[in-house]
Structure 1
Amino acid sequence: MSTDFCAQNPLSVSFADVEEAANRLQGIAFKTPVLTSETFNKRTNSQVFFKCENFQRTGSFKFRGACNALIQLSEAEKQRGVLTFSSGNHAQAIALAARLLEIPATVVMPADAPKVKQEATRGYGAEIILYDRTQVSREELAAKIAAERHLTIIPPYDHAWVIAGQGTAGLELIAEVGELDLLLVCCGGGGLLSGCAIATKTLSPQCKVIGVEPEQADDAARSFRTKTLQTVTNPDTIADGARTPSLGKLTFPLVLHYVDEMATVSEDAIRSTMFFMWERMKVVVEPTGVLAAAALLSGVVQSENARIGVIVSGGNVDLSEVNRFFYCN
């Protein structure tokens, strides 16, 4: 951990924030199931617990953070409405949470975002503004629209209330299965990884926490190694939820403080793990959702005779495009 960096960037979220988020989300967010697989256990020679956020409302963990954030807005902010930018899962989460709380929602989405995610976001009642990710900065476009319309921006990961909400997934997992030796969490912008690491290091202090991202979108792994924020531009990976340009100003110091290691997995490992979970575990999981499991199944991370937690982040697959998973490079 870089002491100087963390001293300049104080930690924004505590375990108490995660606990408070869990209380707010009771009766709103689902308590998702924890699944096991004998075949997976045999292949890894460990006991693996899958926290299945693909069964969360809107099909991903993102609903936890979105709802925790929107609940805490002032009445004036709720009346004016909110805006976010997202390739899909956070978009859907904001849209549904806003509908439940009767808040107008606008979402800036890339035009090439999976159609199933676009349609679901519209279906939850949000206005969608599409843009070309190769030509336009989503952050700049979102800031411009929010200023014009006087909307409150709720970013997909770099927000204390969002991070605390995501951490409730890790809190629930350990509350159900007990202490762990290892926890694996996918990483895009670091909101889920940060939140779950905070909960895990408090409830199971000896547990090692590893973040996992695609080899072709390894900005967080490079940032972790160098202790300097690294970026990536429109990485070519099927894990669309991990195409974020970098860790955030809030998530980077949290990752440095709470996470023990970062790992990366190949596109082939992502595909083969996704198909394994579809075929053997009978659950629909999207490419980003299997990153953590892929690190184990591919042997990138090895920890025999251990109790291992795996956060399965989401299951929003556009089934009309499944063939591309077989034939892409």
Structure 2
Amino acid sequence: MERISHQVHRTPLKQSSTLNAFTGGEVYLKMENLQRTGSFKVRGAMNKIMSLSEEEAGRGIIAASAGNHAQGVALAAAKRGIPSKIFMPKRTPSTKVAATKHYGAEIVLTGDTYQEAYGAALEEKIKKGSTYVHAFDDHKVMAGQGTVALEMLQQLSDLDMILVPVGGGGLLAGMALAVKAFNPRVQIVGVQALGAPATYNFFTGSNKGSLEHVHTIADGILVKKPGELTFPIIRKYVDDMVTVTDEEISYSIMFMLQREKTLVEGAGAASLAAAMCQKVKVQGKKVGCVISGGNADPSKIPVYRDLSKMARQLHHIV
């Protein structure tokens, strides 16, 4: 934590009286959408890149990302004066691409999913010999992400449960390790989009293969396969996993926009969706929801609004 403490923000852990009344619990929002680069991803990228040897740093950085990791890597590389080249899916929101370029990275748009961008980045790594910074499947990256949990426990030591959005599992694995080391009583629950449930499938044993087709508005957690390093940690330390639909995610995005005056992205709203749409029992509990990012594409607000209406009809929510 000391390695990155001066490079990242200590984000707020805030309550909403409206949300508490709605859920019947005490729900605390860990506002990583207010983090540098707009997401928690900078924590892991910064921890990894600041720990590189001079020889590793001298080879330059290559990464693949659906958007948020890209910004974290670009910023961290700029801090060390290292050139970075980042492969991103073609469908990455333009706001994330523009922000990554702003931090100084060279961008290559390729493929339709993270996995395809990842494959192209690995080919480039082999060709150029650059140092690869994985979006989630790396112990130093996981350790950096785990600082979210350490902050939450410092801010509120008697949490009963923490809900964590899941893509490849770096945030969930890092937070689970941190929480179980300091307060094993706290339940850790992963939340994945129903349209991209690879880690959920592995966790429940329903499907151990890579998904062929994935689709969700939560582009930050749009992956086809969990990490080889992250999943054993998740299996050992995570208490449960649930999925949420795009309609439920959109409802949570619109709730945050209308009631909290904050625009969050799909992945960032996933944990809140699990609490609001009763995917986990939060009544009478102190529950932390990681709002993992705020880099939403404003052009998609009409889509979020329409899907939110569907969610209200499905769940009879106000």
TM-score tier, shorter chain, comes to over 0.9
CA 239–84 in structure 1, closer or farther in 2 if over 3 Å, else same: same
CA–CA distance in structure 1, aligned partners of residues 113 and 10 of structure 2: 38
CA 121–262 in structure 1, closer or farther in 2 if over 3 Å, else same: same
* Pairwise CA distance, 1:232: 2.0
SS for the counterpart of 2:210 is coil
- Work out which of the residue numbers 54, 75, 79 in structure 2 matches 1:100: 79
CA–CA distance in structure 2, aligned partners of residues 93 and 67 of structure 1: 7
Q: Amino acid of the residue matched to residue 25 of structure 2?
A: S
- Work out which of the residue numbers 192, 195, 198 in structure 2 matches 1:219: 198
Identity of aligned residues (%): 38
Partner of 2:262: 283
What's the CA shift string for 1:16-74, capped at 9, x where partnerless? xxxxxx11011111101111101111111111111110011100000000000001111
Q: Is the 8 A contact 1:229 1:247 kept in 2?
A: no
CA–CA distance in structure 2, aligned partners of residues 308 and 324 of structure 1: 28
Pairing of 1:35-184 with structure 2 (within 5 A): 35-133=14-112, 137-184=116-163
What's the CA shift string for 1:187-206, capped at 9, x where partnerless? 00000011111111122211
Taking structure 2 as the reference length, the TM-score comes to 0.93
Q: Amino acid of the residue matched to residue 104 of structure 2?
A: G
Equivalent residues, number: 308
- Work out which of the residue numbers 234, 250, 258 in structure 2 matches 1:271: 250
Q: Amino acid of the residue matched to residue 60 of structure 1?
A: S
Q: Is the 8 A contact 2:41 2:72 kept in 1?
A: yes
CA 264–134 in structure 1, closer or farther in 2 if over 3 Å, else same: closer
CA–CA distance in structure 2, aligned partners of residues 38 and 257 of structure 1: 34
Structure 1, gaps ≥5 residues long: 1-21
Structure 2, gaps ≥5 residues long: 311-318
What's the CA shift string for 1:219-253, capped at 9, x where partnerless? 11110011873422341110001111111110010
Single out whichever of 312-321 and 287-296 deviates more from structure 2.
312-321
Q: Is the 8 A contact 1:83 1:154 kept in 2?
A: yes
Q: Amino acid of the residue matched to residue 323 of structure 1?
A: P
What's the CA shift string for 1:248-277, capped at 9, x where partnerless? 110010000110100001111100011001
Partner of 2:5: 26
Q: Amino acid of the residue matched to residue 187 of structure 2?
A: K
Partner of 1:306: 285
